[in-house]
Chain A
Amino acid sequence: MASAGTQPRKLPGSLNANRRLDRWLRVNRDGTVTVFPGKVEIGQGILTALTQIVAEELDVALERIRLAPTDTSYSPDEGMTSGSQSITDGGTALRYAAAETRDLLLQRAAAKLGVSLEQLAVADGVITARSGGSATYWDLASDDLLAREATAEIAPKPASQHTIIGKPAPRRDIPAKVSGTPIYVHDLELPGMLHGRIVRPPSYEARLAGLDEAEVRGLQGVVKVVRDGSFLGVVAEREEQAIRALTRLKRIARWEEATQLPESDARFLYRETSEDTVISEKHDAAAAARKAKTLEAEYTRPYTAHAALGPSCAVARLEDGRYTVWTHSQGVFPLRRDLAPVLGVEEKRVTVIHMDGAGCYGHNGADDAALDAALLARAVPGRPVRVQWMREDEFHWEPYGPTMAVKLKGDLDARGNIVGWTEDIWSNSHSTRPNGLGGVNLLAAWHLAHPHKPSPPRNPPLPGGGSHRNAIPIYEFPNERVTNRLVKRMPVRVSALRALGATANVFAIESFMDELAAAAGADPVEFRLRHLKDPRARAVIETVAAKAGWRKGEKGDGTRGRGIGFARYKNGACYVAEIVEVEAGNEIAVKRVWAAIDAGLVINPDGLVNQTEGGIIQAASWALKEAIQYDRSRILTSTWTDYPILTFEESPVVEVTIVNRPDEPPLGAGEGTQGPTVAAIANAIFNAMGARLRDLPFTRDRVLAALA
């Protein structure tokens, strides 16, 4: 027995924090297995992959697996579903939990049949002894089977024995999603449910100075106008009545506003106070002495919206002093830690239940809408309230992916090798999610008469990193200095957007690699390989070059051209290399994309391809079109007209090749394409027409300016 004070043994993945087997799995007597995931579906197909893992390790058919919704009252606490970590955290936990469950069932069968474990084989939950005799999981299962701590001592199957992992499995949620079957939190209907809307201030620091709400209270269907400081909401019987009241309230509310937004150019970051950390430093005086040529460049990215297609939504109910909240948050437990103090109750009096939402790609308004719904529900006890944000709420108030600036300096020797690399990155934190740590990261909480302060921003540490994610090049340079300049003041609300700092950092590094290759008179593919030792990194580049038929030194024709981009996401997750073909017409069009991805062991190859294609198309949209517009007091982006995204007429043909490595551990893969896509587009534009674009997005005006 472990003595007091001894650390419990470290268990793999999320098992470490959720150690009981019955927190993860239940074998049912009706021939099914229930999985309790702590990670949530956000359109990335994670739940399908997790069922594959359990079916594989348990030796049961996929159809037998049931999924319990993620719910704070019984699910394992896996924190956030973010950072491409669901397979490595939750998938690993379930792999070990299922392998151990299978072993426990085999032990019971061995005892029942009077044979040794080696005599037993399993097929779809039926255990057969070589000598004859059989038992099923469903007969052997009992409530106490998994009422124990995991040991992780039963090794999962080697890849050579996989029959379900590594094979494409159809997503479990797609039939409902294409049939119109209610599945999203947006679709939830509860008896007596009311509809709420929030009247947001016209700008970040605006204070509600005056409101004569009597006329709104008299509107048809209005149940309650809820006002608490500068938080203003309305509850009505019908949804359109809530919207009508919202429109009226917007017209009559008087706000005091302040001018406090920065200028609309990432370079304002240079003048902000920053916390500077040198995150990589290498010295080689002999190599430095060979310096023959130096290049410098500066790259920027604007504030970028998640812009979920469906605005954020939540349903909440207060009953007998207990709150129940249905949400599409990426983390029901972290959300609960922030909800409880605002609602003034203990955490155990708040139940947070996950339901699907529109794709979020990071921290958008989902968590904020949950608090909105809870605050309105508090005003009408016993009645559930459904709150959906309007389109402009989402564009104005979601926390954007931060604007960033990257300065690079590179030294080449006479043979065209990089002998020195200096990089400085400026950014806000990319992580202001709810977390229950020293403040409340929920929008409405800041507007209450007794406001809560936001938690201090965090920058996830390296090697994964936040603003400095992928800031350290994985190329081999003899001299290197990378400085992360973290700007603490956040004049614009920001948080995690798919890939965090990796988008801007990879855009900068991979564009600059191309600039250096051009200066060295080298082919960009060969130039990268020359500076790269990691065989898996080289393999994705070589694979994509072969698939795309890359010709050494190929040049565009003035309008068409191709470029390459590469990264190993987080310098430790999946490897991605892409070649992009662009065509310059009235605007830049991305015509075709070839991608090669190495994500180690692949659970669901079709799921991986789907995520990779999606990441590429979304990143192409960021690269060509997207930037939040604002003046010195207000966000000006309100509609899809203000914030166009890539359309069906503009979307490229995408061809993804998986470099399969089933004997390697699975690597996070949902975000690996963002940086390489953006960089490859910039490099393709240069290849096509000699215009080097260093500021995102690559609009027509920017192309013309670069050509001038």
Chain B
Amino acid sequence: MAITLKVNGRAHTVVAEPETALLYVLRNDLKLKGARFGCGMGQCGACTVLLDGKPVQSCDLPLSAAAGKSITTVEGLAQNGKLHPLQQAFIEEQAAQCGYCATGIIMTAKALLDANPRATDAEIRSALKGNLCRCGTHHRILRAIQRAALAMRK
């Protein structure tokens, strides 16, 4: 069936079963590859996108639950060709090894910093509860989020 989604400010109509996980539609129909498949069970956070500003795991979110809401993916963060401060901070801190977890973490961090621009180290760590990193880049990622928070407050 045809379902209309609002992704990064634009409306898209896709034909898929309503129980299809949003992740597959983002990646395969809309060709937005920034949200990544990690577990399909909402346990690792690699597929995190924002739904009305709140982080959700798109791998187990049915399309029907996303319809009519505003969806933001990592591709929607850059403004006028300029990367979001979080993306910029990840580059400045070199906060990636394989990078597979990075986009999901950036989306979770964006939701946190939008709501709490002065998040403490403990609050950032807690917000990232649902995001796993296997390469052990935690240390740099935390530093990058702090750096972005500072830049966003300026």
Contact = CB atoms under 8 A, between A and B. Distances in A.
User: A and B bound?
Assistant: yes
Interface of A: 42-45, 170-171, 173-175, 177-184, 186-187, 189, 195, 238-240, 243, 307-311, 356-359, 361, 388, 390-391, 606, 610-611, 613-618, 620-621, 639-641, 645-649, 651-654
Nearest to B39: A391
B139 to A, nearest CB: 5
Nearest to B106: A178
B39 A358 contact: no
B146 interface: no
Nearest to B127: A648
A222 to B, nearest CB: 14
B132 A640 contact: yes
A580 B17 CA distance: 52
Given A44-B97, A614-B136, A615-B136, A170 B91 contact: yes
Nearest to B74: A180
Nearest to A180: B34
Interface string B14-32: 0011001100100110011
A309 B43 contact: no
Contact of A653 (B37, B128, B139): B139
Nearest to A617: B136
15 contacts: A43-B99, A170-B91, A170-B94, A180-B34, A180-B35, A180-B103, A186-B37, A240-B24, A358-B98, A613-B137, A614-B97, A614-B135, A648-B133, A649-B125, A652-B139
Interface residues of B, number: 57
Nearest to A307: B134
B119 interface: no
Contacts of B28: 195, 238-239
A191 to B, nearest CB: 13
Nearest to A612: B136
Nearest to A328: B98
A270 B137 CA distance: 37
B74 A639 contact: no
Contacts of B133: 309, 648
B48 to A, nearest CB: 12
Contact of B75 (A179, A187, A310): A179
Give chain A's interface secondary structure class.
loop
A146 B86 CA distance: 43
A177 B129 contact: no
B44 A239 contact: no
Given A648-B129, A648-B138, A653-B139, A309 B96 contact: no
B134 A618 contact: yes
A177 B31 CA distance: 15
A672 B128 CA distance: 28
Contact of B136 (A618, A639, A653): A618
Interface in B95-110: 95-103, 106
Nearest to A388: B37
Contacts of A647: 128-129, 132
B56 to A, nearest CB: 16
Contacts of A178: 74, 83, 87, 90-91, 96, 99, 102-103, 106
A616 B140 CA distance: 13
Interface string B70-102: 000111001000010001001100111111111
Given A43-B99, A186-B36, A390-B40, A171 B94 contact: yes
Given A179-B75, A239-B28, A309 B34 contact: no
Contacts of B125: 648-649, 651
Residue of B31, B34, B83, B103 most packed against chain A (CB within 10 A): B34
Contacts of A639: 39, 41, 43
Contacts of A238: 16, 24, 28
Given A309-B133, A615-B136, A648-B125, A610 B97 contact: yes
A43 B20 contact: no
A325 B100 CA distance: 21
Contacts of B74: 178-180
B53 interface: no
Interface of B: 16-17, 20-21, 24, 27-28, 31-41, 43-44, 46, 73-75, 78, 83, 87, 90-91, 94-103, 106, 124-126, 128-129, 131-142
Contact of A179 (B20, B83, B124, B142): B83
A612 to B, nearest CB: 10
Contact of B43 (A243, A615, A641): A641
A654 B126 CA distance: 19
B136 A616 contact: yes
Nearest to B142: A648
Given A179-B83, A311-B38, A358-B134, 6 more contacts: A43-B100, A178-B103, A179-B74, A189-B31, A309-B132, A648-B128
B38 A309 contact: yes
A136 to B, nearest CB: 31
A653 B136 CA distance: 11
Contacts of A182: 33
B97 A359 contact: yes
A640 B124 CA distance: 21
A596 B24 CA distance: 44
B140 A610 contact: yes
A186 B83 CA distance: 23
A645 B101 CA distance: 14
A648 B98 CA distance: 17
B89 to A, nearest CB: 9
Contacts of B27: 187, 239
A309 B132 CA distance: 8
A359 B100 contact: yes
A390 B44 CA distance: 13
Nearest to B126: A649
Nearest to B34: A180
Given A177-B99, A648-B125, A649-B125, A308 B36 contact: no
A182 B103 CA distance: 12
Contact of A180 (B33, B136, B140): B33
Given A613-B137, A615-B136, A606 B100 contact: no
A361 B100 CA distance: 14
Which 8 A-B residue pairings sit nearest by Cβ, starting from the closest?
A: A180-B34, A43-B98, A617-B136, A177-B99, A359-B98, A651-B138, A614-B136, A648-B128
Contact of B91 (A175, A239, A391, A618): A175
A645 B134 contact: yes
A260 to B, nearest CB: 28
A621 B44 contact: no
Contacts of A388: 37
Given A180-B103, A388-B37, A654-B139, A174 B134 contact: no
B91 to A, nearest CB: 6
Output the residue of A45, A240, A613, A645 with the most chain B CB within 10 A.
A240
A89 to B, nearest CB: 21
A356 B102 CA distance: 14
A189 B40 CA distance: 20
